[in-house]
Amino acid sequence: MLAPERTWWKPMGRLEKTWLTVALVWCIFLTIMMPLWYFMGKQNVPTETYRTTPQQYAATVNDFVAKYQVGEENGIPIVAAPPGSDVYLRASAWQWYPILQLEKGKQYRLHVSSMDFAHGFSLQPVNINLEVLPGYDYVATITPTTTGEFTIVCNEYCFLGHHTMVGKIIVE
């Protein structure tokens, strides 16, 4: 709170220098971890994205459902596409459509886009979370490593019925 003396540009003390060096090394380590994991890790944030429109994407999802539907639950189709193929998920207030059926250890190209607001793809209890926006076809290349029924919770607020927006992925 006091104006310093005229010359305050002074060399740092020994302890200041020590801490500054250690902190800087830590910051460099933090920086390196991200590219390291990008090249070595098996869990990376998807970046593949295409422009789309809600109409166009809805049509793609409908074609996909018509082609691979294997069942139905509470009026929502269950869809099983062959491993390695493109699978489509549509988010709208307040529904995830359709229910996807996948095989453990097989790779899929999971597309996700929104028909209206921003939504949040939150796969539980796996705990993978992605943002879903209208106009963007977001492609995640995923390989399920566990089996069971997984819930997709919407975790981006999408107006008053937000909490009711729950979907499902089945892995066998």
Partner 1 sequence: MTALSPTFPWAKDAKDDYRACPVTTLKVDMHTERLIIANAVMAVVCLTLGGIAALLIALTRWQAIHLLDATWFYRLLTLHGIDMLVAWIVFFEMAGLHFGSTVLLNARHAAPKLAWLGFILMTVGGLMANFVVLFDTSSIVTFTAYVPMKAHPLFYLSYILFAVGALIAVITFFVNIVVAKREARFEGSMPLVVFGLMTAAILATYTLLQGAAAIVPAFFWSLGLMDLDPGIYRNFFWGFGHPAQQVNLAAMVAIWYALAQMTVGIRPLNEKFSRLAFILYLFFINLGSAHHLLVDPGLSFGWKAVNTSYAMYLAVLGSMMHAFSIPAAMEVALRAKGFRKGLFGWLRNGPWNEPGFGALVTSMILFGWVGGVTGVTIGTEQINMLAHNTLRLPGHFHATVVGGTTTAFMGFTYYVIPLIFRKELKLKKWAVWQPYVFGFGTLLVSLGMITSGLQGVSRRNWDISFAGVVPGTVDLTLAIFGIGALIAVTGGIMYITVVLTSILTGPRLEASNMLLVAGTNNPLLESTQLTDHQLEDKQNQPRGTLVLVFAFLVWFAVYYLTNWWLLGRTWFIR
- For residues 52-81, which are near partner 1 according to CB under 8 A? none
Cβ 129 to partner 1 shortest distance, Å: 4
Residue 168's alpha-carbon distances to 8, 73, 94, 147, in angstroms, are 63, 10, 13, 13
Question: Among 113, 114, 119, 115, which Cα is nearest to 159's?
Answer: 119
Cβ 66 to partner 1 shortest distance, Å: 25
41 binds partner 1 (CB under 8 A): yes
Other C-beta atoms closer than 10 Å to the C-beta of 96 total 24
Options 66, 141, 147, 172; binder of partner 1; rule CB under 8 A: 141
Stretch of residues binding partner 1 (CB under 8 A), selected from 63-71, 72-80, 83-91, 152-160: 152-160
Options 1, 80, 89, 99; binder of partner 1; rule CB under 8 A: 1
26 binds partner 1 (CB under 8 A): yes
Q: Which single residue is written with the structure tokens 């390989």?
A: 143
As a whole number of angstroms, the distance between CA 161 and CA 24 comes to: 46
For 122-152, give one letter per residue: b (16+ CB within 10 A) or e. bbeebeeebebbbebbbbbebebeeeeebeb
Binders of partner 1 among residues 109 to 138 (CB under 8 A) are 116-118, 120, 122-138
Cα–Cα–Cα angle for 73, 79, 83, rounded to 5 degrees: 145
8 binds partner 1 (CB under 8 A): yes
As a whole number of angstroms, the distance between CA 142 and CA 127 comes to: 13
Stretch of residues binding partner 1 (CB under 8 A), selected from 45-53, 61-69, 71-79, 81-89: 45-53
Stretch of residues binding partner 1 (CB under 8 A), selected from 59-67, 68-76, 81-89, 148-156: 148-156
160 binds partner 1 (CB under 8 A): yes
84 binds partner 1 (CB under 8 A): no
